[in-house]
Structures are given as structure tokens and as C-alpha cells.
Amino acid sequence: MAGSPPNIQPLATAADGGCAGRTGRRRRIDRRCRLSVDLEAALDYLFGPEFSSADRENAVVLGLVELSRSTPAIADVLTTAYTATRLQLAELVAQAHPSASPDSCMTAAYGVLTCALGSVFLGDFDRDAARVSRTRAAAEALLAAL
């Protein structure tokens, strides 16, 4: 999402392998391009190195989070970006678990997103090599409970 802080672009943009601008035949030919994002692709992104690494982009986001506590305009930008991601994630959960209620899907989306964000936060100081895989396993267990 243009103009959004790093790591909070909506899932459909982030998880499509950078192919959002491609159309028609070129998009179908390039195997890196997913024609649709599914829950597995979203989890791959949220628990993959691009999102979960403790890097400069995440430091910028954490700086924005700190500023959002005293700057309502920044809080609004972050709220808008995270809400879009959470809503997309809830839609993906609903597609993967059609018998789950909309409320359950939204709750699961909150849980998955907070697992991913918490793992990023912990990554700033916790160097446990299994942190991301364990966090993803926790998110998958939450989804399996639907």
C-alpha cells in the first residue's frame, strides 16, 4: 500500500510476491505471482522473513507506534493500515473455514495478527531460533480450533 509504514501493507499486496502490478498473460506465466491470496500465503508472509525480521523497517514502525501515542494523525494511519490487514485476514480465515461464524473468524484474525506482531516485537531482543516457528504453530493451532 503506497505511503503505508513498512510491514503493515494489506496482505493481498504483501503476499502476492510483488506481482500486483502485473496483469493478463504475463501474470499467469510468472509462477511467483499468485492469482489470489489464501490463508496459507498470508501465514507465509506474516511468519516469513520479510515481516518477522528485526530490521530497520520494523524499527521505523516501532517508532511510529511510539509517536502514535501522542500524535493522533499517526495513530489514525496505523489504525487504518492494521484494520485493513485484520479485515483481509478475517476474510481469508472465513474462506478457509466456511462453517465458522463471522465473529469467530474476526477473533481468529486478531489472534493470528497479534501472534505475528508479538513475534516481531520479541525478535528485537529474543534471539530464540524457534521463536517464529513456534509462534506460527500457535497461530495455526488457533485456526485449527475453528
Which pLDDT belongs to residue 123?
86
Q: What is the pTM of this model?
A: 0.74
Q: Is residue 3 part of a domain?
A: no
CA distance 139 to 39: 12
For residue 106, what are the domain limits? 11-144
Q: Which residue has the higher pLDDT, 104 or 61?
A: 104
Region 33-46: what's the mean pLDDT? Answer: 78
Which pLDDT belongs to residue 127?
87
Q: Is residue 5 part of a domain?
A: no
Confidence of residue 13 (pLDDT cuts 50, 70, 90): low
Nearest-10 crossing angle of helices 102-123, 131-144: 170
Confidence of residue 36 (pLDDT cuts 50, 70, 90): low
H-type alpha helices, 69-144: 72-96, 102-123, 131-144
Q: Which residue has the higher pLDDT, 30 or 72?
A: 72
Cell numbers standing for residue 19: 506481482
CB-based contact 119:47 (threshold 8 Å) = yes
- Percent of the chain exceeding pLDDT 70 equals 75
Q: Is residue 6 part of a domain?
A: no
Number of domains in the chain: 1
CB-based contact 39:143 (threshold 8 Å) = yes
Residue 53 in this model has a pLDDT that exceeds 80: no
